[in-house]
A and B are shown apart, each in its own frame.
Chain A
Amino acid sequence: GESVGLHLPTLSVQEGDNSIINCAYSNSASDYFIWYKQESGKGPQFIIDIRSNMDKRQGQRVTVLLNKTVKHLSLQIAATQPGDSAVYFCAENSNDYKLSFGAGTTVTVRA
């Protein structure tokens, strides 16, 4: 079965608010995690990654948190904008040449 999953399939957020998207994984051997954004009609686009030797990593308006104790990671988007409306996927890699993806969370930004 899937080794990576997301807590909620949908998230509605007010423009300007912060968004938090959660993901749980079950493979203790996973040592690398990625968040992807997929807009309608496009392939997934890399947002940010984190290795298991870190617990936090920041990018432009995005932060990924990793809690290895409970096998949980989250993506925080600051000051959510209409262009952030998309499906967000977490994915994990455990050094076997493939990524395992979660089911995805659809984020809708309300004006």
Chain B
Amino acid sequence: KAGVTQTPRYLIKTRGQQVTLSCSPISGHRSVSWYQQTPGQGLQFLFEYFSETQRNKGNFPGRFSGRQFSNSRSEMNVSTLELGDSALYLCASRRQTGSYNEQFFGPGTRLTVL
């Protein structure tokens, strides 16, 4: 079956702009988590959505937000972009909360902020 897909794969923005990233989970998966990956900080948890509800949130400023739709697809939005937001943004899906051994990551969206 199809894996987790993320669009776009690459994105270049300038400071102050906003960006929306999309994640389509594996069919049947209701939980979607988002992570930011940078060389300096590694993988850091942003938030998790399950059945359209945010279940948990990491230590990121309010400029980072997300949502999940009824078909489990998720989007994350970053407003007022800063240079430090340049990163690989990964989403991961699993059937339900827990079951991390059945969590699958997408290839990520590489965001560059100039």
Binding site for B on A (CB under 8 A): 2, 32, 34, 41-46, 49, 89, 91, 93, 96-104
When the two chains form their complex, are residues A43 and B90 in contact, meaning their CB atoms are under 8 A apart?
Answer: yes
- Chain B interface size band reads 20 to 34
Chain B residues near A42: list those with CB within 8 A: 105, 107
- In the complex, whether B8 has a CB less than 8 A from a CB of chain A is no
Q: Does B33 interact with chain A (Cβ within 8 Å)? A: yes
Interface flag for B81 (CB, 8 Å)? no
Answer whether residue B66 sits at the interface, using C-beta atoms and an 8 A cutoff. Answer: no
> Is residue B42 contacting chain A, with contact meaning CB distance below 8 A?
yes
Q: Are A99 and B106 in contact (CB under 8 A)?
A: no
Residues of A within 8 A of B48 (CB): 97-98
Contact present for B105 and A43 (CB under 8 Å): yes
For the complex, give the distance between the alpha carbons of A61 and B108 in Å.
28
Q: Which residue from A45, A93, A104 sits with its C-beta under 8 Å from B105?
A: A45
Q: Is the interface of A mostly helix, strand, loop or mixed?
A: loop
Q: Is the CB of B56 within 8 A of A96?
A: yes
Q: Is the CB of A2 within 8 A of B42?
A: yes
Report which of A43, A96, A104 forms a contact with B92, defined as CB distance below 8 A.
Answer: A43
Complex partner residue of A103 from B33, B42, B106, CB under 8 angstroms:
B42
Instruction: Known contacts A93-B100, A97-B48, A97-B97; decide if A44 and B42 are in contact (CB<8 Å).
Output: no
Report chain B residues within 8 Å CB of A101: 35, 42-44
Distance in angstroms from B48 CB to nearest chain A CB is 5
Closest to B45 in A: A98
